[in-house]
Amino acid sequence: MTIVRRNPLLAGFLAAMFVVAFGLATLLRAQIEGNDRGVPPIDSSANYEVGGVQVDVTAKTSEQARSFGWRLAQRKAWKLLWGRANGQPAESAPGLPDGTLDAITAGISVEDEEIGAHRYIARLGVLFDRGRAGDLLGARGGGPRSAPMLVIPVMWSGGVAQSFEKKTEWQKAWARFRSGGSPIDYVRPVGTGIDPLVLNIAQAGRPGRGQWRTLLEQYGAADVVVPTVQIVRRWPGGPVLAHFKAIHGPDGEVIARFDLAAADSRGLPAMLDEGVRRIDEALSAALRAGGLISDPSLLAEPAPIEALPEDQGIVEGDVAPTEAATSLAPAQTLSLQVDTPDDAARAAIEAQLRGVLGVRSVTTTSLALGGVSVVRVEYEGDAAALRAALAPRGLALDEGLRLRRSVP
């Protein structure tokens, strides 16, 4: 009879390792599958938006006061939008007749209002139609435009920093921001899937280029901006102080610093919205001044192409001329901006792209249902060749790699 002696220390060690491994696996699964994360950005392309317009108007009736207030908000918002687009003081903006303002205004959102019998006090947001207002701004196709910027919003609160690990008020503020009127091309991750694992506080402060290149290629970006806010509460239910900082690139170039305050926690969302707006203004000003230059080391180098041996070359007549030309072209990764009003539209455009000769893969790297998503296409050719291949399919690809339906 064989007697097997068990080592209690070894058994305990193995049991402990199993518990640790199981715990890590559970934690990893929770990080990926958690429900308390993911804030899809709102539409960033349909309209220009100017928020926080203050009006205080009196009239004979409350309805008349409100009408006058909205009209005054249009005038103020137009001047602010013109100044923002042209980098000049709002006071220097040319005046427009009320009829013209009515024609280019897409809507008015009420942020806060008080209506009296003869007085109207409000904070309003005015949305201008991009197609109609763009020509008046001189902004259609003009002015500097940044490289696609991956946004990693970092929020410090109670001594703890978070990016996409869970939903934060700072991430929500960036998702609410309408970036259509900004010269900064923001790539805003939703915060679901693998985002919390790879776009965390550790990555935001990592200077090494290797992992950055992989991430930027995955999200269809060429640069990174890390907007940071530190929340300080004086006492429960009391004032809230916020320290903001706009950080550009993996080397941590600080573009702007400023502080804002709110009377209590109820004013936190509005304060964070103002922080986003000021950070966007600082980045836009830096871009117009010649800054925000993307580091060339962040761009992935194309893989070298080896020439085929003579006995493996293409024999005349084996392949159609257009196919032969495409298959010999170097493969490139192109990040296209695509309108995705719903998931069906996303699936349809992906299917059309996959049907193009020379397209190796199609991946949506930044999804914004109801807005503009980023689709990464690996194509055996350059952007001009892809543009020519898409034209017969009713798709137009402009110089900025924005994909739209061709107008008949």
In terms of pTM, does the model score above 0.75? no
In a domain, 244, yes or no: yes
What pLDDT does residue 389 have? 85
Structural domain for 228, as ranges: 149-295
Output phi, psi for 364, to 5 deg.
-85, 110
Yes or no: say if 36 and 192 are a contact pair by the CB < 8 Å rule.
no
Of 137, 168, 183, the one marking the end of a domain is: 137
In a domain, 13, yes or no: no
User: How far from each other are the two terminal CA atoms of the chain, in whole angstroms?
Assistant: 90
In a domain, 40, yes or no: no
Are 121 and 170 within one domain?
A: no
| Per-residue buried b or exposed e for 366-381, using 16+ beta carbons within 10 Å of the residue's own CB | bbbbbbbbbbbbebbb
Are 185 and 264 within one domain?
A: yes
- Of the listed ranges 1-10, 279-288, 377-386, the least confidently predicted one is 1-10
Output phi, psi for 251, to 5 deg.
-85, 0
In a domain, 315, yes or no: no
CATH number reported for the structural domain that contains residue 272 in this entry: 3.40.50.10070
| Residue type at position 72 | L
In a domain, 207, yes or no: yes
Q: 161-214: per-residue pLDDT in tens?
A: 999 888 899 999 999 887 766 788 888 888 888 888 888 888 888 888 888 888
In a domain, 21, yes or no: no
Q: 251-310: per-residue pLDDT in tens?
A: 899 999 999 999 998 999 999 999 999 999 999 999 888 888 878 777 655 444 344 444
Q: 303-344: per-residue pLDDT in tens?
A: 443 444 444 433 433 333 333 333 445 678 888 888 887 777
Are 132 and 259 within one domain?
A: no
Are 78 and 166 within one domain?
A: no
In a domain, 276, yes or no: yes
- Count up the domains in the chain and report the number: 3
In a domain, 9, yes or no: no
What pLDDT does residue 124 have? 92
Are 171 and 289 within one domain?
A: yes
CATH number reported for the structural domain that contains residue 374 in this entry: 3.30.70
Q: 91-149: per-residue pLDDT in tens?
A: 888 888 888 888 888 788 888 889 999 999 999 988 887 667 766 775 444 456 788 88
